[in-house]
């Protein structure tokens, strides 16, 4: 089994986080939940309710982080996933997370990003010239850092797979898992 990082913090979106977590297990990978500290984190549910123009947030499940960013040697991991929700906005300044993020882009390893997850590779300086999907309200974050916004459920740009919101997980997680399988086979 090969390890894959899932990046979270408090207020990571529940569906954004749990769907890839279980899909990784189904595909024979070991998902490793990584966060600022090794502890339990509160996830949230996001939805734009009918008649609303902003996102409504409810508490979701909690999840235990397996490892703190500071303790991660990214060379030990096959791929990385940036979950959405509000967490990326708060954790994107973590120097260890930025170090880890840059490793995956520089090593051309399989990367997936959903919704607000784009804020982390954008802050790490890794999106210039890259085509990505993200939630519309993060389009600015992507473009101001040199990325190219694409409004589709699944955007594939080399080793980088992205989607807009949790509504897209069924469209982009499969292609990302396929990249991870190819990467796993290449090192056997």
Annotated catalytic residue 167 = no
Q: What is the largest CA-CA distance in the chain?
A: 52
* Residue in 46, 116, 167, 171 annotated catalytic: 116
Q: Name the residues annotated as catalytic.
A: 116
């Amino acid at each position: 089994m090969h390890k894959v990082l899932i990046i979270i913090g408090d207020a990571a979106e529940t569906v954004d986080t749990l769907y890839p977590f279980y899909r990784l297990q189904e595909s024979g990978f070991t998902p490793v939940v990584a966060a600022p500290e090794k502890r339990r984190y509160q996830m949230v549910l996001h939805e734009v309710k009918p008649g609303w123009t902003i996102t409504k947030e409810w508490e979701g499940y909690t999840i235990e982080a397996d490892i703190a960013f500071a303790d991660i040697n990214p060379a030990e991991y096959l791929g990385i996933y940036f979950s959405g929700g509000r967490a990326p906005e708060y954790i994107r300044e973590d120097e260890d997370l930025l170090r880890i993020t840059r490793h995956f882009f520089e090593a051309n390893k399989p990367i997936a990003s959903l919704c607000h997850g784009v804020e982390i590779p954008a802050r790490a300086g890794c999106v210039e010239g890259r085509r990505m999907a993200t939630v519309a309200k993060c389009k600015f974050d992507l473009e101001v850092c040199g990325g190219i916004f694409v409004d589709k459920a699944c955007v594939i740009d080399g080793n980088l797979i992205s989607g807009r919101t949790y509504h897209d997980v069924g469209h982009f997680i499969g292609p990302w898992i396929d990249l991870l399988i190819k990467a796993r086979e290449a090192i056997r």
